Amino acid sequence: MVDVAQSITRDPVGTTPAATVTVTGAAGQIGYATVFRAAAGALLGPATPVRLRLLEVPQAARAAEGVAMELLDGAFPLLASVDVFDDPAAAFEGSEVGLLIGAKPRSQGMERADLLSANAGIFSVQGRAINDGAADSFRAVVVGNPANTNALIAASHAPDVPAERFTALTRLDHHRAEAQLAIACDVSVNDVDGIAIWGNHSASQYVDLTRATVQGRPAEEVLAERGLDRQWIDDFFIPKVAKRGAEIIRVRGGSSVASAAHAALRHVRTWLRGTDEGRWTSMAVPSTGAHGIPEGVVSSFPVTCSQGGYAIVEPWAVDEFSRARIDRSVAELLAEREAVAELGLLGPRA
Ligand SMILES: NC(=O)c1ccc[n+]([C@@H]2O[C@H](COP(=O)([O-])OP(=O)(O)OC[C@H]3O[C@@H](n4cnc5c(N)ncnc54)[C@H](O)[C@@H]3O)[C@@H](O)[C@H]2O)c1
Ligand SMILES: O=C(O)C[C@H](O)C(=O)O
């Protein structure tokens, strides 16, 4: 543990035992936007105190100490403790929830293979640390890109942890699609339902409206009444959502931060608390082979959650267009998997 005078332990409020949450990249932008809301109850709910374990690389550990100081200054009633680490093994000791945000960003001139390899180094080490030290109940969401394949790498290095506990974030894409559909139909986001994100958290993702509803009616029907046909969905709506990350970078001058933090918090909260009756969300999870998506990749699916678990929504007969789009994104995931396998970066479970 980094020697932080700021580390605290106290008896927090709350009616259930405190849960231990490890946040990697805690001094980075998304980490900073996440930990205060986690301390305020947005991750585990208003009844569960949280013990935060912040992991950073050694050169950013000092900045993470500063984050810990600010957490203290929030005097959050639910914050049981906060500790800073630069050693993954220590950071994941007893961990019940992992928010795996820290990753190596793509720098100029870096090839995708270099990015995969740089991140594989990070996620293999963290996978092993989780395998050796995390609590039996451990579950993780990977935010750091390439998120799906990073989750696969971590899971492959943690053979003693059920693979389904390693998930990746596509809830942000799901939220983006809900918002864009609501805007297109001039309704509240509360009126839209049934969107599914398939495949990779990348521009190849398939944003599926075929089961979506707007105020209980098929979304495609409501869009058609507004003169927005399938061509519009294909040419405008899907790219708008799938390329939103790049658009944010262009307009804001930096990648999505608060919306990504919000999505990561909601991902875990929904997983633990459950989806509402009759509704689903999107999560990238290890494929079981469902919907024709081969095992061995972490793909986004529509899922329902209950009692701390999730289930891929039962397969339905997808149309030809959807099938081709799902297969295209899955092909990208398979190529990423092959690239890391060729580099010898997959662990013993692979
Ligand atoms: N899945 C999604 O929806 C989504 C959305 C937005 C961003 N992202 C990704 O999230 C990641 C984080 O974004 P950010 O804006 O916070 O980046 P950032 O560069 O601000 O922060 C990343 C932090 O991770 C730390 N880090 C790097 N390697 C680490 C390691 N081995 N252990 C612990 N910490 C480590 C860095 O020191 C840094 O503080 C990026 O990979 C980004 O592409 C994903
Ligand atoms: O960081 C990025 O490349 C984009 C990010 O994954 C996003 O979807 O906003």
Question: What are residue 278's phi and psi, to 5 degrees?
Answer: 80, 5
Per-residue pLDDT band for 50 (boundaries 50, 70, 90) equals very high
| Amino acid 12: pLDDT | 60
The whole-number average pLDDT for the span 67-77 is 97
Q: State pLDDT tens for residues 237-286.
A: 999 999 999 999 999 999 999 999 999 999 999 999 999 999 999 999 99
Rounded to whole angstroms, what are the CA distances from 69 to 33, 57, 63, 118, 120? Answer: 15, 18, 10, 30, 31
pLDDT of residue 16: 84
Residue 5: predicted pLDDT: 39
Residue, of 130 and 105, whose pLDDT is higher: 130
The token duo for 106 is 């793509």
Task: Count Cβ atoms below 10 Å from residue 78 Cβ, excluding itself.
Answer: 21
Domain 171-337 fold: L-2-Hydroxyisocaproate Dehydrogenase; Chain A, domain 2 (3.90.110)
* Residue to mutate (ligand 2; options 100, 256, 257; most atoms within 8 A of CB): 256
Q: What confidence tens digit (pLDDT) does each residue in 80-120 have?
A: 999 999 999 999 999 999 999 999 877 777 777 788 888 99
CB 344 within 8 A of CB 153: no
| Predicted pLDDT of residue 14 | 65
List 20's β-bridge partners, or say none. Answer: 51
CA 330, CA 297: separation in Å to the nearest integer? 8
Nearest CA to ligand 1 atom 5: 260
Ligand closest to the CA atom of residue 62: 1
Q: Does ligand 1 have an atom closer than 6 angstroms to the CB of 99? A: no
pLDDT confidence bin for 10, thresholds 50/70/90: low
Q: Tokens for 345?
A: 């970066």
Ranges for all domains in the chain classified under CATH 3.90.110.10: 171-337
SS3 247: helix
From ligand 1's centre to the CA of 280, what distance in Å? 27
Q: How far apart are CA 236 and CA 238, in angstroms?
A: 6
Tell me which residue has its CA closest to atom 11 in ligand 1. 144
Which DSSP string corresponds to 8-47?
EE-----SS--EEEEEETTTSHHHHHHHHHHHTTTTT-TT
CATH tag, 8-168: 3.40.50.720
- Please enumerate, by residue number, every residue annotated as part of a binding site for substrate: 106, 112, 145, 176
What are the residue ranges of CATH 3.40.50.720 in the chain? 8-168
- Residue 175 designated active-site: no
258 CA distance to ligand 1 middle (Å): 13
pLDDT band at 9 (very low <50, low <70, confident <90, very high): low
In this prediction, residue 15 has a pLDDT band, given cuts at 50, 70 and 90, of confident
pLDDT class of 1 with cuts at 50, 70, 90: low
Report the pLDDT averaged over residues 298-308.
97
C-alpha 218 to ligand 2 mean position (Å): 29
pLDDT recorded at residue 105: 78
What is the CA angle 342-345-350, rounded to 5?
A: 90
Calculate Rg over the CA atoms of the chain: 20
CB contact at 8 A, 148 and 126? no
- Nearest ligand 2 atom to alpha carbon 145: 6
pLDDT in tens, 111-120: 777 888 889 9
CA of 30 from ligand 1 middle (Å) equals: 7
Does residue 6 register a pLDDT over 80?
A: no
- In three-state secondary structure terms, 56 is coil
Residue 350 pLDDT = 76
Q: Are the C-beta atoms of residues 241 and 173 closer than 8 Å to each other?
A: yes
pLDDT confidence of residue 114: 81
**pLDDT tens, residue by residue, 198-241:** 999 999 999 999 999 999 999 999 999 999 999 999 999 999 99
List Cβ neighbours of 105 (8 Å cut-off, separation of 6 or more).
145
- Entry pTM: 0.96
Q: What H or E segment, with its residue span, contains residue 168?
A: strand 166-168
Average pLDDT value for the chain: 94
pLDDT band at 4 (very low <50, low <70, confident <90, very high): very low
* pLDDT of the residue at 3: 47
Q: Is the CB of 169 under 6 A from ligand 1?
A: yes
Question: Taking Cα atoms as reference points, which of 263, 257, 246, 151 lies closest to residue 202?
Answer: 246
How far from the centroid of its chain's Cα atoms is residue 86's Cα? 22
Among the listed residues 157, 201, 267, 291, the single catalytic one is 201
Helices (H) then strands (E): counts for the chain: 12, 15
Amino acid at 142: V
| The pair of three-digit structure tokens given for residue 196, joined into one six-digit string | 């599914």
